[in-house]
Structure 1
Amino acid sequence: MKKFLTMLTLAAGMTTLHAADLKGNALAARDKVAMCIGCHGIPGYRTAFPEVYHVPKLGGQNAQYIENALKEYAKGNRKFQTMHGIAASLSDQDIADIAAYYSQQTAATPPNPDK
C-alpha cells in the first residue's frame, strides 16, 4: 500500500510539473487565433446570442488571465455557450499559445498582423 501511495504521489507531481512547464508560443498561435478574431478582433463588437454581450479586446491582456479564462470556459465554470464550445476544443498547449499571442499585443494591434 505504501508503495502504491508513493507511486500515486509521484505521478500526481509529474502531471503538475508538466502543466506548469507548458510555455506559450505566440508564433505557433498565429493560425490558432482565427476563431478568436471573428469576435475579439472587431472594435466595439457585441454578440446577440445567447444574450447581448460586449466582447472584450484581448490584445495586451495578461497571459495567465487568458489561460485561466479559457480553462474556466472549457470546464463550463464561465457561462457563455460560444466560448465553451471553442475553449473545450483547445488543448492545454493551444491555450498557452493563444494566451502568449494576445499578451504580446496591445489593444491597438491589428488582428493577425503580417500573416
Structure 2
Amino acid sequence: MRPLTIAACLALGAIAPIAMAQDTAPAAAPAAQPAADPAPAAGNAENGRMLTYTCQGCHGIDGYKNAYPNFHVPKIGGQSAQYLRNALTGYKDGTRNHPTMQAQAQSFSEQDIADIAAFLSNLK
C-alpha cells in the first residue's frame, strides 16, 4: 500500500468524528444562487515532487518507448500545469486511453493531481 494511501486513511479516521458531529448540526438555509464551480485546488509542488517518484521510471528517460504496445513516452517536465492536470484527470476518468497511465492515475486525488502538476510544470 502506498504511504500516501496509508496517511490518507489515518487522516480520514481522525476527522470522521468531527464530520459526524457536523452532520448533526441544523442545516443552513439554502443559498439563493447556485454555487459556481470551485476553482481548481492550488498545487503544492513539494508534495508533487514526492508523488512523482514513479513517473521518472518512464518519463525521465530520453527516447524511452514503453513496451505496451510500444508507445513513445513524452517528457512531462516543463509542461503547463493545466495540460498536466487535464491529462491526469482524463486518465483517471477514462477519457484518455493508456492502460499504464490509467492505472497510475486511479490512485490520485484531485489534490494529488494539482500537486503533481505544480511540481512538473516548474521543471526545466
Structure 1 vs Structure 2: percent identity of aligned residues?
47
Cα distance per residue 1:10-45 (max 9 Å; x no partner): 4xx26x22xx14101111112100121110111111
Which runs of 5 or more structure 2 residues have no equivalent in the other structure?
1-29
Count, aligned residues: 95
Answering whether residue 62 of structure 2 is matched by residue 43 of structure 1, we say yes
3-state SS, counterpart of residue 89 of structure 1:
coil
Residue number among 84, 89, 114 corresponding to 2:107 in the alignment: 89
Runs of at least 4 residues off by over 6 Å: none
- Counterparts in 2 of 1:75-114, with a 5 A limit? 75-106=93-124
Cα distance per residue 1:58-91 (max 9 Å; x no partner): 1110000000000000111111000001111100
- The structure in which a higher percent of residues are helix is 1
With over 3 angstroms needed to count, the CA separation of the structure-2 counterparts of 1:46 and 1:75, relative to structure 1, is same
Q: Which residue of 2 is the match for residue 57 of structure 1?
A: 75
Answering whether residue 50 of structure 2 is matched by residue 31 of structure 1, we say yes
For the pair shown, the structure with the greater C-alpha radius of gyration is 2
**With structure 1 as the length reference, what TM-score do the two structures score?**
0.76
Which runs of 5 or more structure 1 residues have no equivalent in the other structure?
1-5, 107-115
Supply the distance in 2 between the matched residues of 1:61 and 1:75 (Cα, whole angstroms): 21
